[in-house]
Amino acid sequence: GFVLPSLGLAAGYLATKFYLDRTKPRPIQYKNFTLHVQKKSGTTFLVDVIESPEGQVRDGEFVFEKDEAEEFLNKLRADEANQEEMRAFGKELFNKLFQPAISRCYDKSRGRIQEKSSRLRINLMIESPALVTLPWELMYDPSGREYLALTRELSLVRFLMTKQEKRALTVEPPLKVLVASANPNGHAFLPGIEEEKRRIREALHQHMRAGHVKLDFLPNLTVQALSEKLEEGYHVLHYSGHGTFQESAQGGEGCLIFENESGDAEPVNTARLELLLRDSEVRLVILNACQTAQTSRFDYFMGSAQALVSAGLPAVIAMQHKIFDDSGVVFAESFYRSLAEQFQIDMAVQAARKVLAVRSKVEKMDWGTPVLFMRSSNGVILSDTTP
C-alpha cells in the first residue's frame, strides 16, 4: 500500500529532473570590459580600459566635484528624483567614464560581441572612495538611448580588489540556499518577508524537485543560529531585514539588524559579519535590506557588502539606497527565477532589474538600487546539472 505513492514521487522527481536537464540552456558567454578608476590629484581622476575585446585604452581623465552630485543624490535618497533628472545624471556618469577614446573602444567591443552572440560584462574597478558611493548603475548612454544596467546584452558589475584570496564561485549540485530573516522588536515591521519567502520557494520549486537546489529558511535570525546553520555548507545566504550605516568620526560602518534571544534588535557590524562568513562555504550573499551597500568615504571596506568581498566572497548583491518592501520582494522573486534558468548571477541581476523597471515604467530608481559585487570570470554559480 505504501509502494505506489513512493513510485509516484520517484517518477515525478525523475520526470522533472529529465525535463530540466534537457531544457537547461548553455551559460551565456560574457566578454569583460574592465574600467579602472583611480584618483590622480585633487578632483581629477584617471580612467583606463584594462581589458576589453578591443584591447586596452590608457590615460582617460575627468574631473569630479563632490557638489556636482550632492543635490541629485539627496533627491534620490528621498525618492524625489524624476525621470528626466535621473536620465541627465546617468548621462553625466556615463560621460565621465566613457571618454572619447574609451567610448570608441566600447562601441567596437559591443559590435564584436554582437557578431559572436555573446554579451559584455562591464567591470567597474573604482579605487577612489569618493566615487564608490555614486550610483553607477544609473549610467545612461545618450547615443544608444539606453541605461547600461537595463540592456540585455550588458552586465554591470562592481569589481573590488582585495588581498584576500578568492574562493571559486561555481559549486557542484545541489545549490544550497539559506534565506535568513529578522523582524526584531522596536524596528518597523517588514510585512514583505513572508511573501518574499513564498515567492523564492515558488521560483526555485522545480529545481528543488529535481534535486538541483536545496532551500531552507532561518527566521528570527540570531548570530548563534546563523553560525550553527552555516556549518551545514550553504552556498547562498539571502538576508532579508533591516540594514543601517552608522556614521562616526572614523567614517562609520555598515550593520545588519539581527535579533537577540529576546527578539530585540542586535546590530551586527562589519567585523562580526566577516568572521561569520570567512570560513563558510558561502559563494553568494544577497543583502535585501536598505543601505547595505553604502560606503564610508573614509574606509573603502566599511560598507557591509564590501566587507564580505574583502573576506574572500566571490559575489555579493546589496542595496545601495532604501528599497521599498514590495520592490525588494519583486527583485528577489525575479532574481531567483532567472537564476534557476541559467545559474548565472550577473545575468539574473540584469533580468531582475528589468522586471523592476518595467513594473515602475522606469520612473522609480528601484531597478538601480541593487548593486552586484563580483569577482568571478563567468558568473556561473552551479556547474552543469546534466549527467
How do residues 207-258 score in pLDDT, each as one tens digit? 999 999 999 999 999 999 999 999 999 999 999 998 877 776 666 777 889 9
- Degrees (nearest 5) of the Cα angle 284, 286, 291? 140
Mean pLDDT, all residues of the chain: 86
How do residues 39-98 score in pLDDT, each as one tens digit? 999 999 999 999 999 999 998 999 998 888 888 888 887 778 888 999 999 999 999 999
Give pTM, 2 decimals: 0.88
Q: Which of 61-75, 254-268, 302-316 has the highest mean pLDDT?
A: 254-268
Average pLDDT over residues 256-282: 91
b/e string for 226-248 if b means 16 or more Cβ within 10 A? beebbeeebbbbbbbbbbbbeee
Report how far apart the first and last C-alpha atoms of the chain are (Å, whole number): 32
| Sequence-ordered list of residues with C-beta below 8 angstroms from that of 371, at least 6 positions apart, any chain | 137, 158, 293, 305, 317, 318, 319, 320
Instruction: State the CB neighbour count (10 A cutoff) for residue 330.
Output: 23
Instruction: Name the DSSP letter for residue 321.
Output: S
Three-state DSSP at 135 gives coil
CA distances (Å), 90 to each of 86, 145, 370, in order?
6, 11, 16
**Cα–Cα distance, 213 to 209 (Å, whole number):** 8
CA-based nearest residue to 366, from 355, 377, 375 = 355
Average pLDDT over residues 3-7: 49
Give yes or no for a contact between 295 and 302, defined as CB atoms under 8 angstroms apart: yes
Q: Which domains does the chain have, with CATH numbers?
A: 30-158 (no CATH), 175-374 (3.40.50.1460)
Residue percentage of the chain with pLDDT more than 90: 56
How do residues 157-203 score in pLDDT, each as one tens digit? 998 777 766 688 999 999 999 999 999 998 888 888 999 999 999 99
Three-state DSSP at 281 gives coil
The whole-number pLDDT of residue 265 equals 94
